[in-house]
Structure 1
Amino acid sequence: MLLCLLGLVGCAGQQMSDAPGATSSGKASYYSDRHQGARTASGERYDKNAMTAAHRTLAFGTRVRVTNLDNQRQAVVRINDRGPFSRGRVIDLSRAAAGQIGMIKSGVVPVRLEVLK
């Protein structure tokens, strides 16, 4: 039972606020092309050319500025899916968004997220 409670406390601490100006940081990854056309958690179909992303807790439709901390390049994305499910990652970007922040070659980069709403 204690292990379950500790697990819940850990998850609660990772939740990001939907309030404009709220920030978070961690690692970003991006969807592979094989997901093109698949349904997202919001019901939309994934479009690798759209500026969208997956986040574990932010409401669908939330707009987020993502900054690649390695090169300071930025992209604004709309949350339309849930994820990422890999430990230590805070957001999964569409291929278009990943290209805009210059992370295609590396695959995973440190980022800062800022809620725009």
Structure 2
Amino acid sequence: MAHHWYRNTTSGNSLQESLDELTQSQQITPQLALQALLQFDKAVNSLLAQRVRNRVNFRQSYGSLTTYRIGDNVWTFVPNDVEFSKVTALIKVDKVKIAACDDENTGSNAKE
């Protein structure tokens, strides 16, 4: 099963609730509701690919990788003592959780 984190946004939740109501009142079929969600997935992925250009580099200064695991094609890493750098800023954190999902279209990994 794919990890569609954006379905838990306000827009995603509203869409799911509306589709549930329409399905329960038999105004649309469950198959049509599923097609609407799949179209939403395509639209969000397309917008993210086109508009998100921010990149952040990180490195682990001297800590350790506390946890790593994979489930449902989602990798989760929890390293300690990490530095994040952007063009104009350096941020140091004691602990961070990083989740990376398999991109269904290309087979590459996409970071959240």
TM-score by structure 1 length? 0.27
- Structure with larger Rg: 2
Q: Which of structures 1 and 2 has the larger relative contact order (alpha carbons within 8 angstroms, sep 6+)?
A: 1
Which has the larger helix fraction?
2
Scaled by the length of structure 2, what TM-score is found?
0.28
